Homo-oligomer: A and B are copies of this chain.
Amino acid sequence: MTNRFTPRIAEILSWYAGQNPGSLTNLARLLTHGRLGGTGKLVILPVDQGFEHGPARSFGPNPAAYDPRYHVELAIEAGCNAYAAPLGFIEAIAAEHAGQIPLILKLNNHDVLQDEKDPLGALTASVSDALRLGAVAVGYTIYPGTLDRRLQYTELAEIAAEAKRVGLAVVVWAYPRGGGLSKEGETGLDVTAYSAQIAAQLGAHIIKVKLPSAHLEQSAAAKVYESTNIPRESLAERVEHVVQSSFNGRRVVIFSGGAMNADREALLIEARAIQAGGGFGSIMGRNVFQRPRPEALKLLGDVMSIFEGT
C-alpha cells in the first residue's frame, strides 16, 4: 500500500478531513488498489444487473457471467480498483477472494418485474453485512426526480451516518428518473449536475453518474447555463461541469456510459472525455461483462491506460 500512497491520494483524502479515520482508510484502500492505484483515478466493475435487469438480459450474451466468481476474478485480473455487487454476489465470493480486491456492497436494489415510471429500490443488505463481508464501502442508489426520492434521501442519510460511524466509505449511484423528467432529461447536463450535487450534499464520498448529454431539461436552469455561458458542447466540458458541481471537484465523481453494447471505440472516446474533463474514472458493468473475457480485459486495460494519462 505504501508506495501507492502518493501525494495525490493524500490530497484527495484531505477533502474528507474530520471524518473518521476508518472512512479515510477505506477510501485510501479503494484509491491505492489495482493498476490505477495511486493515480487518483478509479475503474470499478459493478455487477448488479442480475437483480436490476434480470439474469438473461445481463448474462445471456456471455454465459460465463452467470457465475458469481466470473466477475470478481475479471476485476482482479484487470486490476480494477474495486468490485461492486448486491449481497448474494458478494457473499458468494467474499471468503474465497478475501483480501484480493476492495468490495463495495450495494445496499439497495431495484428490479423491473413491475413497470414503474418512478423506480424505488429495496434495502437488500445492511452496514453490518458490509462489515461482516469485509467491504470497504457501501453503495446506494438514489433516483432524483422520482416521487419517492425523499424516502431514498432519508434512507441514504441514515445509512451514510451509520457507515461513517463504523469507518466505511459511502458510494452513491445518482440516476435521475421519474415522471417529471423527459427521457432525454434523465441524462441532461443540468439534471446530471443537479443529481451529483444532491449526492454530495447527502454525504457521499464517491458519486456515480451517467455521462451527461448537452440537453438542458429545466427551463429555469437552462436560462442560467445560457446567460453564464457554461460550456457544454463537448463531452469533456460536460464532465468538467459535473465535477465542478460536485463541490468544485472536492468529491470523487465517476461516470458510466449510457449506451449498452456500445462499441469499443465509442467507450474509449468517452474515457478520454472523462480524463480531459477531470473526471475521476469510470464504472463499467455491462460493457465489460457482456464482452468475451479477452475483449473485456483489453477494453479495461485501454481505459486504464487513458486514465493513467499514457
Which A residues form the contact surface with B (CB < 8 A)? 1-2, 5, 9, 13, 15, 17-29, 31-34, 50-51, 53-57, 59-61, 63, 66-68, 76, 79, 86-89, 91-92, 94-96, 98-101, 109, 111-115, 120-126, 128-129, 131-135, 144-147, 149-151, 153-154, 157-158, 161, 165-167, 176, 178-181, 190-191, 193-198, 200-204, 218, 220-221, 224-225, 227-228, 230, 241, 244-245, 247-248, 250-251
Distance in Å: Cβ of A140 to nearest Cβ of chain B:
13
Pick the contact of A134 from B20, B134, B195 — CB < 8 Å?
B20
A2 touching B101, Cβ below 8 Å:
yes
| Of listed A66, A92, A98, A196, residue having the most chain B CB within 10 A | A98
- Nearest B residue to A121 via CB reads B150
Does B150 contact A18, Cβ atoms closer than 8 Å?
Answer: no
What 7 additional pairs, Cβ within 8 angstroms, besides A2-B76, A55-B197? A17-B96, A20-B134, A24-B95, A54-B193, A59-B245, A88-B200, A114-B180
Q: Compute how far the CA of A13 lies from the CA of B175 in the bound complex, rounded to whole angstroms.
A: 38
A167 with B109, Cβ < 8 A, contacts A18-B91, A87-B203, A126-B157 known? no
Asked if A99 and B27 make an inter-chain contact with CB atoms under 8 angstroms apart, the answer reads yes
- Complex Cα distance, B33 from A37, in Å, reads 14
> Which chain B positions have C-beta within 8 A of A13?
98-99
Asked if B157 and A24 sit within 8 Å, CB to CB, the answer is no
Q: Shortest distance in angstroms between A267's beta carbon and chain B's nearest beta carbon?
A: 20
**Copies of this subunit:** 5
Instruction: Contact check, B56 vs A247: say whether CB atoms are below 8 A apart.
Output: no
**CB-contact partner of A161 in B99, B128, B151, B225, under 8 A:** B128
Pairs across A and B, CB under 8 Å, 18 listed: A18-B96, A20-B132, A21-B133, A25-B99, A26-B134, A27-B99, A29-B99, A54-B190, A55-B193, A56-B221, A57-B224, A60-B230, A61-B224, A66-B245, A68-B248, A88-B203, A88-B247, A113-B149
- Complex CA distance for A50 and B202, rounded to whole angstroms: 11
